[in-house]
Amino acid sequence: MIDRKEQIINYFKSGLKDNKNFKIGIEHEKFLFNNQNNKRVDYSKIKEMFSALLEFGWKPILEKKNIIGLNKGGKNITLEPGNQIELSGEKLNHIHEACAESQDYLFELKQVTKKLNINIVSAGFDPISKLDEVPNNPKQRYKLMTKDMPLGGKLSLDMMYRTCGTQLNIDYESEIDFVKKFRVVNSIVPISISLFSNSSIVEKKKSNYLSYRSKVWQNTARGGLPKLFFEDLNFEKYADFIMKFPILFIQNKENYISGKNYTFEDFMKQKINEINNRLPTVNDLSTHLSTIFTENRLKKYIELRSMDTCGWDCLCAGPAFYVGILYGNLDEVYEIITKWDKDKIINAYLEAPQKGFNTQLMGKDLHYWASTFLDLSKKGLENRDILNKNQKNETLFLNHLQRLIDNKTTNAEQMINKFSKNEDLSELYDE
């Protein structure tokens, strides 16, 4: 049971790893559409799909007899509020392994979706559906979230039902290493938004945003980029931050109750009557940490959350970009970002969803900074020098990003060009 701040600090310390044992965990979400009518799939279709995936060795995850996900080894497929599906991969050693895992998943998914007449869309925001057209599912927590989330951010339901992202989980070897990495990943969020933007079409029209997903997340309850994140934020300060943070929901046996009137500190002080004033468990802490929707967050690792979902051809590019910086070239990057002004970073963060590479940061545009950091990442991956069976190192996964930089264009602009030719919805589906 958790009743002291030190226990939370120790939870973060329990994530410390020797740098030789650093792992990479990738999570990516996808939209699913019925081929016949271009509508998002409902829960009955999800059940069919999950049932078909069992043939590939996946095991069902149940909640009150409803199937809500699958697992296989250290991998999970989970169900998001609008029936988006998310793969949470295993903790792997390098990008070659992580990319192979995604390709295996893609192979299985394609077999099943083809059989069931389902189309996959790899985009940061649903390009077709209106909010009231998106079906839901029986996961209990989402009923509470649908009710409570809009109270704190006007686009919270869009976040839940109409966005998809790619997340990356990164390790740290010490508290100092965490502080540096966290400062870096928060400082380069504007670059990440511009480089990985892939959500320009909304309700079959150009949205005037390159990353409408990022715009939505900026207007979501419990999200954003707090100024606190640009300080040297150690474990104790992060513990203070999450203790003062409201609870989203509490799991009480098989049921979920709203936590909107309480902070985690209230929980620790046994002030929640609805659950007989019990103390939080480690599981309650873990749930709380995963329901803070900032652009990056701390668990027993750092979770990076500012990339739009992109197509299978660039799926490994984002993780490779960050691994090169954070595992291969941290000090050089840290040296650059410590000279930046946090108000200018936050301003660039707010402008980047719409202006993309044209956004200004510290007297340069984000195209300049994206190019600079891509070179620094490349150098970091070369430093790591981890080879595949063809003797190629991890820099090969940056080729997609290099093309974007060279052409001064983004996945979002490519989506606009493709779709705008004849406004054919099939152009939005994965091949």
Residues 220-265: tens digit of each pLDDT: 999 999 999 999 899 999 999 999 999 999 998 888 999 999 999 9
CATH of the domain at 56: 3.30.590.20
Find all residues with CB under 8 Å of 122, minimum gap 6, and list them.
30, 31, 164, 198, 309, 310, 311, 312, 430
Residue 272 in domain: no
Other Cβ atoms less than 10 A from the Cβ of 405: the count is: 19
Residue 275 in domain: no
- Structural domain span for residue 104: 5-245+292-428
**How many independent structural domains does the chain possess?**
1
Residue 266 in domain: no
| Joined tokens for residue 406 | 């060279």
Residue 280 in domain: no
Residues 242 and 245: their CA atoms lie apart, in Å, by 5
Of 322, 360, 256, 285, give the one whose Cα is nearest residue 9.
Answer: 285
What mean pLDDT do residues 96-114 have?
Answer: 95
Reply yes or no on whether the pLDDT at 395 is more than 90: yes
Percent of residues, the chain, with pLDDT higher than 90: 94
Count Cβ neighbours within 10 Å for each residue of 85-111 and write b for 16 or more, e otherwise: bbbbbbbbebbbbbbebbeebbebbee
What mean pLDDT do residues 191-203 have?
Answer: 97
Residues 226-237: tens digit of each pLDDT: 999 999 899 999
Residues 56-96: tens digit of each pLDDT: 999 999 999 999 999 999 999 999 999 999 999 999 999 99
Query: With the C-alpha atoms ordered 353, 358, 364, 366, is the resulting torsion angle positive or negative?
Result: positive
Q: Predicted confidence band at 418 (pLDDT cuts at 50, 70, 90)?
A: confident
Residue 265 in domain: no
Residue 251 in domain: no
Of 124, 110, 120, 137, give the one whose Cα is nearest residue 56.
Answer: 110
